[in-house]
Amino acid sequence: MPLTKEEIEEIRRTLGREPNQVELAMFEAQWSEHCSYKSSKKHLRKLSMESPWVVKGGDAAVVDFGPVYVAFRIESHNHPSAVDPYNGAATGVGGIVRDILSSGAKPIALLDDLIFGDLREYKVKWHVRGVVKGISDYGNRIGVPTVGGETWFDPSFTNNPMVSVACVGVCPKNKLINGTPKPGHLIVIAGNYTGKDGLLGSSFASKSLEEGVEEEYAAIQVPDPVMEKLLIDSILELRDKDLLVFVKDLGGGGLATAISETAASFGLGAEVELDKLHLREPMEAWQIIVSESQERMMLVIEKEKLPEVARVLEKYDVPYSVIGRFTNTREIVVKFNGEIVARVPADFLAEGPELDRPYKRPEWHLELEKPFEIPPFDLEKAIRSVLGSPNVASKRWIYEQYDHEVQIRTVIKPGEGDAAVLRLLEAPPLGIAVATDSNPRYTYLDPLYGAANVFLEAYRNVVASGGKPMAAVDQIDAGNPELPDRFWFFVRMVEGLAWVERQVNVPIVGGKVSFYNEDEVTGTQIKPTVMITMIGKVEDVTKAKRAMAEEGDKLVIVGETYPELGGSEFLWTVFGKVQGKVPIPRPKLEMETARKVLSVVGLEGVTGIHDIGPGGLVVAAAEMGKGIGVRLTVENVPGKWSQPYEALFSESGARYLIAVKEDAVEEVLEKTDGKVIGEFGGNTLEINLGKRSVTIDDFEELLERGFEKWLG
């Protein structure tokens, strides 16, 4: 039982009696870390969740884009994806889509952020193929394009991958579902039949995985994308007809969570009759109340509108049940076959405990700060290793399995730019730039600066595509919060995000926390991670920029390079080291550099823009030069570096590459304070080192096929 002795005693005191089986199941689900945030909410309050352009929170964050609202959210499905990669990832997609739908927004795009283990391991190949297939099948079948993402590989994730999916939606300003449930309003459950799949899935997600997890399959939901598509269409029609007061996805915690959180949020109670719910199989009351069967949503409606709601749901063949109503009692009363099987205060159940857990930096972590003394190495071999590493090489094998063209919104597609750019068909020529980023090495070495760096990488991705960053959501993954040396990483990551979001005036408006990411096989903590999804406004999608160049373009760099190799792809790929101090985040410099870059986005002579991220300058230049080649002169790179490898592999932030036509170079340099460091053409990657040069003839093959060679 995830409920502690102290929690059970608190339940006894509040109820004034011994809780029964149904009530214990409700508390176990709702008071899990997954639903109650009992270890994290104290620290999450440090984040700035508000801004003049933020409209509402809830299941999805909603941002004012002028003519329309944009909703977005990210959430993980880590434990289910470790046990059953296909179904775990697929149901993760379904859940995040319903979160967007609950605000009244039409889901228009998906992004994934995936971290897997050592690709030489068979188990990891199984994870990769199953997760990608699950995301692909579900997204393709519901008609929501997967337009971007991030994929990392690190040995610590071999037994337990991190699988997060983000979704973006658009809602007309007069159709936002944000009404106030009142006493007498009906509780309607629409969607799939409830079954025993997903039983206490939130509890399963709130403990460490162990070897021999076959018994956990019952906690994994079964996906049904056909029903999801019917739900999308029916909810949007109900929205357009103003038939909905409030909508909530039945995700973690099932009915127990959805009803109690809604009631508590509005100072209400509820009366629920479980035997009225449409079931897939015979079930006990405790199973019904906490089942997390997928493709189900709770609709709150006015009683007199039930016939109209029923007609719409029946039109789409969406099963539904009226299982109860909200009351003014502030108490959740659950009946089954005419008997009361649970009676609990709504606020008490919904809010759960708030823990003040101790945290302390582990002593062994201090050793990681020491710089790695780089021994002599072959520069050409190092460049080839970095370009072909699974973290750097193209993920074409992944994104080609996704339909990114459906809904005809995708302007910049996977593999073309730093962020996906979507046209707002409802408000042309406006568009949305959206990117998702993570870096488990950074957040492991320095959770505060690492989290800030991940945030700023997403910031640069949005800017490089021509977007003005507006808001972000986070997915924070950490180890066992009961252990101070694990919990320290979580606290520091939150503090890093709270600092950087205020510095650049881009609020974090929502997110999710995943704890207990431990490798029980090896007895070690999985590297703690932050996944950031950021959206930005593109004023004119016809001027959005790809990370591409054309023959004869000049290569301009904006920003200075520092000798910052701690946690770099270079150290890991060439020397197998995760060590040193990560790049220093410079948020004010990021803002100034972004302003300069955005000032030239609309220039006709600017072909493409690319930020410099993992792998450093050599990777960014090679990616822009695919298909045409690029010549790079290292001594022209501005900054405080001293060795050529520092200029090539440093991962300093606030840097961009711009491909510029010769007749526009002078204007670009004037507006950006940039510097010409090369040109595109020649069909090879040629690096001029002064007295010698390095030429990589097959650089494009390394980038394009490196990942597939690892996958096998």
Please report whether residue 223 resides in a domain: no
d(CA 675, CA 616): 17
Please report whether residue 606 resides in a domain: yes
Is residue 662 within 8 A of residue 552, CB to CB? The reply is yes
Confidence of residue 176 (pLDDT cuts 50, 70, 90): very high
Predicted TM-score of the model (pTM): 0.96
Closest CA to 495 of 49, 42, 75, 43: 43
Distance of CA 409 to the CA centre of its chain: 21
472 vs 57, which has greater pLDDT? 472
Please report whether residue 659 resides in a domain: yes
Q: Which of 34, 127, 185, 610 is catalytic?
A: 34
For residue 398 the two structure tokens come to 């992944």
CATH for 663: 3.90.650.10
Confidence of residue 100 (pLDDT cuts 50, 70, 90): very high
3-state helix, strand, coil in the chain (%, to 5): 40, 25, 35
Confidence of residue 706 (pLDDT cuts 50, 70, 90): confident
Q: Is the pLDDT of residue 634 over 70?
A: yes
pLDDT value, residue 206: 46
* Cα three-residue angle 159-484-372, rounded to 5 degrees: 65
Q: Is the pLDDT of residue 384 over 90?
A: yes
Please report whether residue 197 resides in a domain: no
Please report whether residue 569 resides in a domain: yes
Q: What percent of the chain has pLDDT over 70?
A: 97
Confidence of residue 212 (pLDDT cuts 50, 70, 90): very low
Please report whether residue 601 resides in a domain: yes
- Residue positions in the annotated binding site? 37, 73, 75-79, 98-99, 221, 249, 292-294, 474, 511, 514
Q: Is the pLDDT of residue 213 over 60?
A: no
pLDDT value, residue 49: 76
Q: How many distinct structural domains can be found in the chain?
A: 1
Confidence of residue 263 (pLDDT cuts 50, 70, 90): very high
pLDDT value, residue 361: 97
pLDDT tens, position by position, 128-147: 999 999 999 999 999 999 99
Q: Is 365 a catalytic residue?
A: no
Q: Which of 77, 127, 185, 610 is catalytic?
A: 77
Q: Is the pLDDT of residue 268 over 90?
A: yes
- Residue positions in the annotated binding site for ATP? 37, 73, 474, 511
Q: What is the mean pLDDT of the chain?
A: 94
Please report whether residue 323 resides in a domain: no
Q: Which residues of 164-201 are buried (b: 16+ CB within 10 A; e: fewer)?
A: bbbbbbbbbeebbbebebeeebbbbbbbbbbbbbbbbb
Domain housing 652: 546-712
Please report whether residue 701 resides in a domain: yes
- Residue positions in the annotated binding site for substrate? 76-79, 98, 221, 292-294, 514
Confidence of residue 59 (pLDDT cuts 50, 70, 90): confident
Q: How many residues does the chain have?
A: 712
30-34, 56-60, 83-87, 273-277: least confident range: 56-60
Q: Is the pLDDT of residue 214 over 50?
A: no
Q: Is 278 a catalytic residue?
A: no
